[in-house]
């Protein structure tokens, strides 16, 4: 019986580790998406300025 309890404890510990990894991975995806949106916004702003100033 004690082996079964140990296995359940290990399962709980590893579940917590997996949850930490998934949370951080999702946070990283969101940060990357924020940066990509910021990049596209900056590119659009640059292109608009170039068109408005008749440089293009």
List, for residues 1-56, the tens digit of each pLDDT value.
456 566 777 888 899 999 999 999 999 999 999 999 999 999 999 999 999 998 77
The DSSP result for 7-39, as a single string, is HHHHHHHHHHHHHHHHHHHHHHHHHHHHHHHHH
- Nearest residue to 28 (alpha-carbon basis) of 38, 20, 16, 39: 20
Lookup: tokens for 17: 């580790």
Lookup: tokens for 51: 């068109």
pLDDT at position 6: 67
Give the pTM: 0.66
pLDDT at position 29: 98
Q: How far apart are CA 47 and CA 52, in angstroms?
A: 9
């Amino acid at each position: 019986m004690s082996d079964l309890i140990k296995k359940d404890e290990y399962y709980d510990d590893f579940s917590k580790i997996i949850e930490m990894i998934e949370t951080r991975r999702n946070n990283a995806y969101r940060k990357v998406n924020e940066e990509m949106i910021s990049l596209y916004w900056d590119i659009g702003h640059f292109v608009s300025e170039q068109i408005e100033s008749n440089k293009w």
